Structure 1
Amino acid sequence: MKDILRNIGVIARALDSISNIEFKELNLSKGQFVYLVRICEHPGIIQEKLVDMLKIDRATASRAIKNLEKNELITKQQDNNNKKNKLLFPTKKGLELYPLIIRENEYSNSVALKGFSESEINILSEALDKVKDNIADDWLYVKKGNKRNY
Structure 2
Amino acid sequence: MPNSFRSIGLIARVTAIMGNQLFQADDLQNNQFIYLMRINETPGITQTELADQLHVDPSTCLRTVRKLIANAYVTRSTDAANKKRRPLQATAKGQAVYPALEKYEQQILAVGTQDLSAGEQALLEELLAKVARNMKSYQRDQ
2:105 pairs with 1:105: yes
Contact 1:38 1:50 in 2 (8 A): yes
Residue 82 of structure 1 and its aligned partner are, at CA, apart by: 3.1
Name the count of aligned residue pairs: 141
Partner of 2:68: 68
Partner of 2:12: 12
Residue 7 of structure 1 and its aligned partner are, at CA, apart by: 1.1
Residues 64-89 of structure 1: per-residue CA shift (max 9 Å, x gap): 10010011000000123332331100
TM-score of the aligned structures, taking structure 2 as reference length: 0.95
Residues 17-76 of structure 1: per-residue CA shift (max 9 Å, x gap): 011011100111111111111111110111111111110001110111001001100000
Give the alignment of 1:16-95 within 5 angstroms. 16-95=16-95
SS of the residue 2:87 aligns to: strand
What runs of 5+ residues in structure 2 fail to find an aligned partner? Answer: none
Moved more, 19-28 or 128-137: 128-137
Partner of 1:121: 121
Q: CA 1:140/1:49 → structure 2, altered by over 3 Å: closer, same or farther?
A: farther
**CA–CA distance in 2 between the matches of 1:43 and 1:138?**
30
Residues 75-117 of structure 1: per-residue CA shift (max 9 Å, x gap): 0001233323311000011001001000011111111111110
Contact 1:55 1:139 in 2 (8 A): no
**CA–CA distance in 1 between the matches of 2:55 and 2:139?**
7
RMSD, aligned CA: 1.1
What runs of 5+ residues in structure 1 fail to find an aligned partner? Answer: 142-147
**CA–CA distance in 1 between the matches of 2:47 and 2:139?**
17
The 4+ residue runs of structure 1 with deviation greater than 4 A are: none
Which letter does structure 1 place at the counterpart of 2:49?
Answer: K
Which letter does structure 2 place at the counterpart of 1:67?
Answer: K
Which letter does structure 2 place at the counterpart of 1:106?
Answer: Q
